[in-house]
Amino acid sequence: MFRNFRLHIFIYYVITVVAFLAISYYFLAVLSVINYYLFVFIVICFIILSGIFISNLAVAPLFEYVENLQNLSKETLHELNLPISTIVTNTQMLSKNLEDEKSIKRIERINSACEMLKDRYNELDYMIKMQSKEDIKEKFFLDELVVQRVEFLRKIYPQINFDLKLSKMEIFNDKKGLSKVIDNIIDNGVKYSPNSKNIDIKIEKNILSIQDYGLGMDEVELLKIFDNYYQSNKNMQGFGIGLSMVKRHCDKYGTILNFISRPNIGTKVELKFKEIQG
């Protein structure tokens, strides 16, 4: 598709240049037009019209391709919902009548796999809404979201002690995007705390703070942390894009992001949210 697309643009560009030279030759050599301003006006009109045709030729196939991709994603998302719900419902019914330990564990593994599928379903739904510029902000309680994310991360990091001090707080934000932000911050705290098993999470006065007691960073590193693909430790797993995503989310929704860090002491990340008006 795109190979033909590039070929079409190249051919149209060659035709445009040849036409421009031919018109110029016709006005200057054949008609002997000496009116400079008329000639410039004609050239400008020709350039503008050529630009419009080339831009339409370039953009139209891309719009069609993206629209078809979005429609396919929406249809696939819709079709996934029914089998996932069916599996979850039936495994729940089966588990009520099971007494054999091996069978119970098998059902638990199926449920875990369904949870992973539901997460991917939600991720795809979130990405479609982001691409479609849909309003994805909603009211929810931040403390409840933090508890949900910590419960999820406990399964990944069972060795970590999460100390939660959470005041009740309602916010108006992108819930799915903020979940990814919280996951990334906690994940970084765990990865860069090889000698510590403690993560402190607090909500107080519209501020969510996540404190680790790991390697920490100096002032020079703090200036680089939001750069794409930057990692202070190249031996760590990952691609160095998490904190740049965190910053983009905070900037988009007006959340004030602050890092307080000292080498060999740890890092505190603070997110200050807007108060809900009225």
Phi, psi (degrees; rounded to nearest 5) at 57: -65, -35
pLDDT at position 173 is 92
Rounded to two decimals, what is the model's pTM? 0.59
pLDDT at position 145 is 95
In a structure prediction context, what are the per-residue pLDDT tens digits for the chain, which is 278 residues long?
555 666 666 677 777 777 777 777 776 666 665 566 766 777 777 777 777 777 676 677 677 777 777 677 666 766 776 777 778 778 878 887 777 888 888 888 888 788 777 777 777 777 766 666 666 788 999 999 999 999 988 888 889 999 999 999 999 999 988 998 999 899 889 988 888 999 999 999 899 999 999 988 888 888 878 775 455 554 444 434 578 888 888 998 899 999 999 999 999 999 999 877 55
pLDDT at position 117 is 78
Element (H, E) at 268: strand 266-272
pLDDT at position 168 is 93
Q: Give CA torsion, residues 272, 275, 276, 278, to 10 deg.
A: 180
Handedness of CA 122, 126, 127, 131 (dihedral sign): positive
Return the bridge partners of 269, or none. Answer: 210, 259
pLDDT at position 274 is 84
pLDDT at position 131 is 64
pLDDT at position 182 is 93
Q: Which two tokens stand for residue 90?
A: 């039936």
Return the bridge partners of 198, or none. Answer: 161
